[in-house]
Amino acid sequence: MQWFPAYVGIGSNLEQPARQVRRALTGLAALPQTRLELVSSLYRSVPFGPVVQPQYVNAVAALLTQLAAQPFYGLLRDLEIELGRPPRQRWGPRLIDLDLLVFGEQTLEEPELTVPHPGIVQRNFVLYPLRDVAPQLWIPGRGRVATLAAAVAPEGIWRLEDETTTHDA
């Protein structure tokens, strides 16, 4: 059976976001035919998009899976529901958000799934944690993670361990 590298962005800005991210990591580690290999630092970030909402906590998980992209993505959607995410709201606050960022060297454009994730090169809250786990990763059609991360400004994002207090995370 072939193993595919998969990189999943994780975010939360509701109900103790760092706790929600850690719950998601536990869920990812339990996915069938999948191994959780590496986890980035946790990052706090300002919200992206037009909706006023609390700050996010973000991370990236590096996994290996024997599943194809679509079934793997289906498991991510199921895990979101299991963790308490209501139906999707674009740009809104989220208890948990799991985004399939990169899946091997594949490029997919389907109604439910686009890989690599379409906003990956503009988002420091994705690229900085992704750089933690895979700085030399080549994102098909986009470039190397370390280069892409260096090109986005650091405003509005910081590692949680860089904070003087993390009690509200």
Which active-site residues does the annotation give? 85, 94, 97, 99
Spell out the domains of the chain, with CATH numbers in brackets. Answer: 4-157 (3.30.70.560)
pTM attached to this predicted model: 0.93
CA distance 13 to 46: 10
**Residue-wise pLDDT tens for the chain (169 aa)?**
899 999 999 999 999 999 999 999 999 999 999 999 999 999 999 987 787 899 999 999 999 999 999 999 999 999 999 999 876 666 778 999 999 999 999 999 998 899 999 989 999 999 999 999 999 999 999 999 999 999 999 999 999 975 543 333 4
Distances (CA, A) of 120 to 92, 130, 152: 18, 10, 11
pLDDT at residue 164 in the model:
41
The CA distance from 138 to 83, in Å, is 31
